[in-house]
Amino acid sequence: MESTKKPAESRRIYDVPPSDTYVEFMTTGWAPTPLTGITQDAVIPYCFARRKKLSQAFIGQRVILPSGNSKVRSNDTDYRFRPHSAFVYYTGVQGEEITSDAVLVMEPKGKHHDSILYIQPRSTRDTSAFYNDRKYGELWVGRRYTTDEASERFGIEVCKVDDLKSLLKDGTPTVALTGLDSLVDSVIKKNPRGAELENFVSVARLIKDEYEMDQMQQAVDVTHRAFNDVIRALPAAIATPRGERVVEAAFFGRARIEGNELGYDTISAAGSHACVLHWARNDGDVNKGDLLLLDAGVELDSFYTADITRTLPISGKFSPAQRSLYMLVYEAQKAGFAAIAPGVPFLEINRACHMVLAQGLFDMGVLTMSAEESMRPEIGLHKRWTLHGVSHMLGLDVHDCAQARKDQYTDAVLEAGMILTVEPGLYIQPDDELFAPEYRGIGIRIEDDVLVTETGYLNLSEKMPRHPDEIEAWMANLLN
Ligand SMILES: [Mn+2]
């Protein structure tokens, strides 16, 4: 005979079903623990202004911006949750104060919108969730805001995400960011302006407001301290197998202590690993006499990230070959900076950097045609050693505003308030016979984060040494 009793599918093998007396017992004897002293972050007034612009672009439409669902790393462990940047931009949430599955909904009201934030609120003591919900339960993952507390914190109406499904089914014309939240995706069947919304919320971040500029300076400053930590860790990196991991760990420590996380996976590339552009395995040795290319950025609790590269002589002193290649990249970057001003084409920074690099490669005799000729788009032979473009927008995402169209970004002109990188590089592969042996396996990149101003630019990472003499002094100072 088949049993009609259902197996306890939702329970894991190591869970023991609670007794009725335990369930009853767990509802009693708890003191009230209201959160006091909730304050609004400085970003909140900016969020009102940002939502107003979004509202005006989508009059009469319900606008839906999910924070995103959590992602499984393996079995029952998830990756650390990081909300979608558009959700962050329009709500002002920080760090891990809002969990996955939250959704910002802007309800159309005549010519404007009412904004409502749907969250997984605190699991209070009158539920069983606080002690038996592994994903959200307070005794498993910590206390979260109640809807009232979140409302106070974010200056916005807050509801339970459980109430969202029925709302979304009421037939209101809707525009949503999809692919982030399974509930939203399951309910939204028509989303004719979805691509337009995706573009709008990305392009909105091209020009940074005052709050963002301040956060970006802070992200750069913390990243500077993380680079200091890396230099102090170099003796340990040299002494330890897979020393690139020592470098990576030193940087990550500062990112977690002072910020939320990394803005992207650290590239810790010693020796010829620097010639691999996205070297993120970081499992190589760190040897005296080689260079260390470190491309890394701290993401703050506000989710703004820096993106800085320095190429450091592991011994503390550049060799003549290293220094001569380094100086070429240094001069290229200077030409890139000099090109920056409002009204200048975005691609002019790239052209200015590559012109200097191509000329230097010609002067060294490895580029066998003039720099001008190589710079023609249909030729581009110098790119054998320069490999990549030198600028991208930077902000909440390391490659910010990535859903912009070409005519809004790479084919547009610079405007005051943009924040972008200037990062020329030269990479001589270890098997490149066009270069003399002493140059082979050298990879150099110098990357700074720059704010376009009304009159030119401000290098947010100006305080981080760049010139070889400054770099040697910086290292000597931290290592002695
Ligand atoms: Mn970059």
* Distance from Cα 362 to the centre of ligand 1, integer Å: 26
* Distance from Cα 392 to the centre of ligand 1, integer Å: 7
* Distance from Cα 468 to the centre of ligand 1, integer Å: 21
* Distance from Cα 324 to the centre of ligand 1, integer Å: 23
Instruction: Look at residue 7 in the predicted model and tell me its pLDDT.
Output: 44
10 pLDDT tier (thresholds 50, 70, 90) = low
Of the ranges 3-7, 76-80, 188-192, 464-468, the best mean pLDDT one = 464-468
Instruction: Look at residue 480 in the predicted model and tell me its pLDDT.
Output: 84
Residue linked to tokens 């106070």 = 152
* Distance from Cα 350 to the centre of ligand 1, integer Å: 13
User: Which positions ≥6 away from 92 have C-beta within 8 Å?
Assistant: 41, 43, 44, 46, 47, 154
18 pLDDT tier (thresholds 50, 70, 90) = confident
User: Is the per-residue pLDDT at 405 higher than 90?
Assistant: yes
6 pLDDT tier (thresholds 50, 70, 90) = very low
* Distance from Cα 308 to the centre of ligand 1, integer Å: 7
388-408 as b/e, with b when 16 or more CB fall inside 10 Å? ebbbbbbbbbbebbebbeeee
Domains and CATH numbers, the chain: 20-27+36-203 (3.40.350.10), 210-479 (3.90.230.10)
Instruction: Look at residue 4 in the predicted model and tell me its pLDDT.
Output: 45
* Distance from Cα 86 to the centre of ligand 1, integer Å: 20
Average pLDDT, the chain: 95
* Distance from Cα 459 to the centre of ligand 1, integer Å: 14
